[in-house]
Each structure stands twice: as structure tokens, then as C-alpha cells.
Amino acid sequence: MIDGASLLTLLPTLLIAAAAAGFLAGLFGIGGGAIFVPVLYQTFEALGVSHQVSMHLAVGSSIAIIVPTSLRSLRSHLERDAVDRQLLKQWLLAIPLGAVLGALLAAMASSEELRLIFAALAFLLGLKMVIGRFSFRLGDDLPGVAGRSLAGFVIGLLSSLMGIGGGVLNNTFMTLYGRPIHQAVATSAGVGALISVPGLVAYVFGGWGDPALPSFSFGYVNLFAVALIAPASILAVPFGARLAHRLSRRQLELGFGCFLLIVAARFVYSLL
């Protein structure tokens, strides 16, 4: 069961994961959930948390950590005036609705179903990162309000189910419609905020009163884990944001893509 002494033994791993996720949040406009979820899942399992809630707790806690990380990342990109503010305004309803629905669906799913969902999405996202930017476009600019709203809802839904900030999904969406990658990355930080804030509330509500939850848990959010990881993650965000505007990110895309594929394989193996 979770206690201070047990968590301290895993502190180095958690801090390294937090710093890496924060750096990637600034670099790719992602919330870091693709790193947080597998690390938190393994941590909760190692601490003896019930299999019934360990994955739910990992996803919910990841969403909670993404709140400050995405807000810090958004601020860093706003300072460079690279964010599509108009698109974020149009998504003020669609993305949160998708995020809340995703969290409620996750609360109803079993641990096995949730791990399978994460593995499938991680595989697809990892494959996208390895492939890189597509050579074709779906259009010269983003679709109309209806198309944008549908895309925002789907991004919010899938991201909340997976416990991520939606950066990879939004980057793909925007670049397929001719938007510059730097604008897509910067806007993704705002997408993370629109997903994580309502998603956090929904994960707390969805897991409230579950008898299998460990101490320091509010629904499917463990405050102890969040308090350990969030500060290191936030501190690393500006470094990634600065690098995003200075260097080619292809090698990091390949590395992150391979990481996602390995994580997907690990979750599939846990289901066998």
C-alpha cells in the first residue's frame, strides 16, 4: 500500500520520468501522460495497489499532473506568440466534453480494458511519431466550425481515455491541414489544458468511494504521487519549449515513438 517510505524508494525513477515528461511537454506540446501512465502504473503495482484500480489510478493521476504541466507549457508558447488562440476558443466546449466522456468511460471500464485501450492508442501514436510528418494534406486550412468541433471532441475523448494531453493527436490534425508544426506544437499546450482540467474533475468523480483505492486518493487521483511528480515536471517545461523553437526534433520523435511502441507491447504482455 502507498506510504511515504515506499514511495521514497521509487523517488529517483519518478523524478526522472517527471523531468523527461516536462521536457517533452515543452518540446512537443504534449502533457507528458504517455510517460506518466506507464511509470505510475508500474509504481502502483510495485506498491501493492489493487489490480482493479492501479491502471485507473495511473491514468487519473496522469491527468492531474498534466494540469500544471500544460498550463506552464502554454504560457511558454504564448510568450512566443505561436498559439492559434482562435482555434482554442472554438474548442472551449468540444474538447472538455470529449475529455469528460472519456474519463467517465474509463471509470466504467475494467483494468484489462483500460490497459488494452492504452496499448492500442500508444501503438498508433508511436507509429505516427516513427513515421513522422505525412507528405500529404487533407486541406490547405483547417475545416469549418463543425469539422473542428468534431476533431476537438475526438481529441479530448481519446486523450482522456489514455491519460495524455492530446499533443500528438492535435499536432497530427493541424499539420494535416497545412498548419506549421511550430504553431501546432504551441497550440497543443492549450489543448492539454482543455483536456486535463475537466478530465481531472471527472476522474475524481468517477472513482469516488471505490473501496480498492489506496490512501491519499481522491477518486482515481493519488495526491501523493501527483505531489512528487508535478514539481519536477513543471520545472523542465521551459527547457523543452526553448528547444522546440531552435532545433530539429526528428531524432527525438523517433526515440519517443519507439518508447510508445515498447510501452504498448508491455501493456499487451501484461494482458497475456
Tell me the pLDDT of the chain averaged across its residues: 86
> What is the share, in percent, of the chain residues with pLDDT greater than 70?
89
Query: If you average pLDDT over residues 8-14, what whole number do you get?
Result: 70
Neighbours of 89 (CB within 10 A): 10
Q: What pTM did the predictor assign?
A: 0.86
Spatial CA neighbour of 218 closest among 104, 49, 61: 61
Count of CA atoms in the C-beta half-sphere (13 A) of 182: 14
Strands (E), the chain: 217-218, 221-222
**Residues whose CB falls within 8 Å of the CB of residue 88, separated by 6 or more in sequence, listed in order:** 187, 190, 191, 194
Contact 165, 195 (CB under 8 A): yes
Segment 161-196, tens digit of pLDDT: 999 989 889 988 998 898 988 898 889 989 999 999
